[in-house]
Structure 1
Amino acid sequence: MGLRRPSAARRPPLPGTDPGEAAAGAARIGNRALALWIVLLTVLIVLLDAFTGNDLPLIPLTVVLPALASVFCTVRQTTAVAVWVTLVVVASRIASTGPFWDVVFLIGFTALASALGVVACAARIRHAVEMARLRSAVVALQRQILRPLPVTTRQVCAHGLYEPMEEDRFVGGDIYEVVESPHGTRVIIGDVQGKGLPAIGAGFAALGAFREAAVREPELTAVADAVEAAVVRHNAFSAETGETERFVTALLLGFDGSDRVQAVNCGHLPPRLLHDGAASVVALHRTSVPLGMADLSSEPRAVEWLSFPPGSALMVFTDGVTEARDATGVFYPFDERLGEWVGRGPDQVLHALQADLQSFSGGVRRDDVAVLVLCRPPGGEEAALPHGSTATGGRGE
């Protein structure tokens, strides 16, 4: 059997071509399938036109074909369909006995409609390519704002789930980061007040400060103070430009490889400890004000120590999980559901949580969702939650 030349829809993109742009401009139907359908529809219309005669001419219906092609095909394919339809109309009308100006009008109308189909196809593809470029830029920006998961350091393996409230966005108001430093692994998860691009700006300011301070500062409270200062500076700039000032609830954790974890809580939700087949709430007794609001409190931020026994895992999350609701307004039973998944691997827990949240809320998102499962990586292999389950190594996003 001879080699078959691939159609435009299946040809690999040229070197240096963005895959998103290539996909946006690709045809949704192959050349052979298109030719077959166009010929069949043309034959059907011509036969019906011959059957009805001059009383009900149906040949003008062929102008629909370029319009349909403009939705699913490339510019080249649409142009071919337009030329084909024009030739069919010209050939059918030349042999007719109708009035001369009626024939000229029909041919002119067909040519104009076919040309408009080609123009519409070109505009569709141009718009699709522009959206593909924008989407690629957003993906690149997301990778600078939020690190792809999972992340493994010497002290911890972080698996995660991230879902912005708006499906067409890659980044929302929730933030997270995992940084390996000379002082151990530092982790932050936070929720910026508000939604939209201004919230993303505040989150980016907090993340940038955390990444730098996590490596520089030996004390976790100093890391929190550095992030606090960054949020305050961002709010000062926002006030000058007329934007709303924002605060960030956050939980900072420090892992040093021992059976205890440092925590600085800035108005965030307490984590869950997954250990011995049970999920329990980790009580935080030294909670301070959110980042950006330190001036409202006279007490400095303080560290407290959390238990992190071997074989356990810590789950940290934002309120997009606990405040999810069903159609009747009932809150999501997070702790009850989490207890059913403790024996699974990190990614399996995250996948189960994602599917269950989707089912419980009916697909309606009222807030961003960010979840991290933090395990101890044994022997360079990915950590497993209790009962010896192993992780799948996938990425939850």
Structure 2
Amino acid sequence: MTGPGTSTDSVPAGPGRPPGNRTVAVAVLAATVVLVAAQVASGSSARLVLLLVFVPALLAGLGTLAQTVAAAVWVTGVIVVSSLVFPPPSVAGRTLTLVGVVLAEAIGVLLCARRLRRDRELFRMRQTAVALQRQILRPLPAPTRHATLDGRYRPVEEDALVGGDLYDIADTPYGTRVLVGDVQGKGLPAIGTGFAVLSAFREAAFRETALTGVALALENAVTRHNTYAAQSGEDERFVTATVFGLDGGSTVQAVNCGHLAPYLLDGANPGAVPLDAGVPLGLAELAGPTGEVRAVQRFELPDDATLLLVTDGVTEAADASGGFYPIDRRLRELPHRSPDALAPAVEEDVRRHSHGPLRDDLTILTLRRTPGSGQPDGT
């Protein structure tokens, strides 16, 4: 299983590995032999050896600075010797040729230095993004006394580490509390709102005795963030989310704020848990002057069952004809539904259904109760 903070997602790749010195030397020597032989075979009127100027230019995009400089010096020397053996018709032509070669090689070296500097800057930025990601989204799998959260998280933005989907799990004095949500909008522009919700959850999960109190704290966080966004000229957003509460018993509490229902895989007939949707965070005022009274709903999660939590990046993944991913049917048909294989199997099936790149952030989480986790904590 992979998620933010795991070895496959959180360790930034360094600058691309350049070719080895021996490989470069053999390639440059081979190109030199071929072009010099062609020069000799064609006679003094041909200037085929000048094609060697492209060798340092190629290394400028692939190799190290030392390799590019060495190739540039070698090519310049070969062309100088060639111009003495096969001189141009005039001294001026020979001078212009040498000046042009030296200028081309110098440009190649400068481009290589610029590329390497940019690669180092991008590497540092990637490291910074990984450090930020670890503060925003918890690495998976994330176990607590009562449950383990695992799964896949894939932002839609190319090469991004964090998008508009959000999740968290907290082992609190009131039991384990889990959050899954989706900010209105896609990718990077939604990060600010998502971070506000996650920050509020991490505080309220330990402070509020009731799950409805956690949901109210999230509502207030989105409202405050939207006020700040309006003052800053940014778009106001709402967030669909569900907060779950687990303890040592088999009953799960849930407060749904407009999010997709979870799917319970317990035996041969997986299906959606019938939760009332409620109103998304940030839109509670639509429920009336006093705001919506968010209710706690309950359902059973046996020790051997798996709860699948997804965002609309899964359910709204469309095929070529515009048909959405039929998650209810596909969960019954997927051959691999073991807890560890479930999220990867769903992701692969979603990608196969959509026949292309992601159009929205993709979050597929599995929540399993820890067997023998003790007696209820009184959540």
TM-score by length of 1: 0.87
SS of corresponding position for 1:372: strand
Correspondence for 1:81: 71
Correspondence for 2:358: 365
Q: Is it true that 1:54 corresponds to 2:44 in the alignment? A: yes
Correspondence for 1:175: 166
Correspondence for 1:209: 200
Could you tell me which amino acid in structure 2 is paired with residue 24 of structure 1?
P
Contact 2:229/2:235 (<8 A) preserved: yes
* Range with greater deviation from structure 2 (132-141 or 39-48): 132-141
> Among residues 248, 265, 273, which one is paired with 1:274 in the alignment?
265
Task: Classify 1:163/1:25 alpha carbon distance in 2 versus 1 (closer, same or farther; 3 Å).
Answer: closer
Task: Classify 1:379/1:32 alpha carbon distance in 2 versus 1 (closer, same or farther; 3 Å).
Answer: farther
* Range with greater deviation from structure 2 (143-152 or 344-353): 344-353
> Among residues 184, 187, 201, which one is paired with 2:175 in the alignment?
184
Give the length in aligned residue pairs: 359
Task: Classify 1:123/1:96 alpha carbon distance in 2 versus 1 (closer, same or farther; 3 Å).
Answer: same
Task: Classify 1:207/1:335 alpha carbon distance in 2 versus 1 (closer, same or farther; 3 Å).
Answer: same
SS of corresponding position for 2:264: strand
Give the deviation of 1:149 after TM superposition. Answer: 0.5
Could you tell me which amino acid in structure 1 is paired with residue 272 of structure 2?
V
Contact 1:277/1:342 (<8 A) preserved: no
Q: Is it true that 1:338 corresponds to 2:331 in the alignment? A: yes
Q: Is it true that 1:350 corresponds to 2:343 in the alignment? A: yes
> Among residues 100, 121, 139, which one is paired with 1:130 in the alignment?
121
Task: Classify 1:162/1:20 alpha carbon distance in 2 versus 1 (closer, same or farther; 3 Å).
Answer: closer
Whole-angstrom CA distance in 2 between matches of 1:379 and 1:269: 29
Contact 2:240/2:281 (<8 A) preserved: yes
Give the deviation of 1:272 after TM superposition. Answer: 0.7
> Among residues 247, 268, 278, which one is paired with 1:288 in the alignment?
278
SS of corresponding position for 1:278: coil
Per-residue Cα deviation, 1:252-307 (whole angstroms, up to 9, x for no partner): 1000121110000001111111102220111013x321111112213411101111
Could you tell me which amino acid in structure 1 is paired with residue 66 of structure 2?
R
Whole-angstrom CA distance in 1 between matches of 2:369 and 2:314: 24
Whole-angstrom CA distance in 2 between matches of 1:295 and 1:192: 18
Q: Is it true that 1:121 corresponds to 2:116 in the alignment? A: no
Q: Is it true that 1:139 corresponds to 2:130 in the alignment? A: yes
After superposition, residues 245-284 of structure 1 pair within 5 angstroms as 245-284=236-275
Could you tell me which amino acid in structure 2 is paired with residue 217 of structure 1?
E
Whole-angstrom CA distance in 2 between matches of 1:43 and 1:379: 73
Correspondence for 2:296: 303
Give the deviation of 1:167 after TM superposition. Answer: 2.6
TM-score by length of 2: 0.91
Whole-angstrom CA distance in 2 between matches of 1:288 and 1:360: 29
Segments of structure 1 that go 5 or more residues without pairing to the other structure are 1-18, 381-397
Could you tell me which amino acid in structure 2 is paired with residue 75 of structure 1?
L
Whole-angstrom CA distance in 2 between matches of 1:20 and 1:272: 33
* Range with greater deviation from structure 2 (160-169 or 66-75): 160-169
Give the deviation of 1:343 after TM superposition. Answer: 6.1
Q: Is it true that 1:41 corresponds to 2:34 in the alignment? A: no
Could you tell me which amino acid in structure 2 is paired with residue 90 of structure 1?
V
Task: Classify 1:50/1:20 alpha carbon distance in 2 versus 1 (closer, same or farther; 3 Å).
Answer: farther
SS of corresponding position for 1:138: helix
Structure 1 vs Structure 2 CA RMSD = 1.6
SS of corresponding position for 1:55: coil
After superposition, residues 215-226 of structure 1 pair within 5 angstroms as 215-226=206-217
Whole-angstrom CA distance in 1 between matches of 2:133 and 2:144: 21
Contact 1:277/1:343 (<8 A) preserved: no
Whole-angstrom CA distance in 2 between matches of 1:196 and 1:357: 18
Contact 1:179/1:185 (<8 A) preserved: yes
Task: Classify 1:336/1:243 alpha carbon distance in 2 versus 1 (closer, same or farther; 3 Å).
Answer: same
After superposition, residues 226-245 of structure 1 pair within 5 angstroms as 226-245=217-236
Could you tell me which amino acid in structure 1 is paired with residue 225 of structure 2?
H
Task: Classify 1:97/1:321 alpha carbon distance in 2 versus 1 (closer, same or farther; 3 Å).
Answer: closer
Give the deviation of 1:52 after TM superposition. Answer: 1.4
Could you tell me which amino acid in structure 1 is paired with residue 176 of structure 2?
T
SS of corresponding position for 2:309: strand
Whole-angstrom CA distance in 2 between matches of 1:324 and 1:56: 59
Correspondence for 2:83: 93
Per-residue Cα deviation, 1:85-115 (whole angstroms, up to 9, x for no partner): 0011111212334322211111111111111
> Among residues 98, 102, 122, which one is paired with 1:107 in the alignment?
98
Task: Classify 1:80/1:362 alpha carbon distance in 2 versus 1 (closer, same or farther; 3 Å).
Answer: same
Whole-angstrom CA distance in 1 between matches of 2:268 and 2:297: 25
Task: Classify 1:219/1:93 alpha carbon distance in 2 versus 1 (closer, same or farther; 3 Å).
Answer: same
Could you tell me which amino acid in structure 2 is paired with residue 334 of structure 1?
I
Whole-angstrom CA distance in 1 between matches of 2:283 and 2:20: 59
Give the deviation of 1:342 after TM superposition. Answer: 7.6
After superposition, residues 57-76 of structure 1 pair within 5 angstroms as 57-76=47-66
Correspondence for 1:387: none
Give the deviation of 1:143 after TM superposition. Answer: 1.1
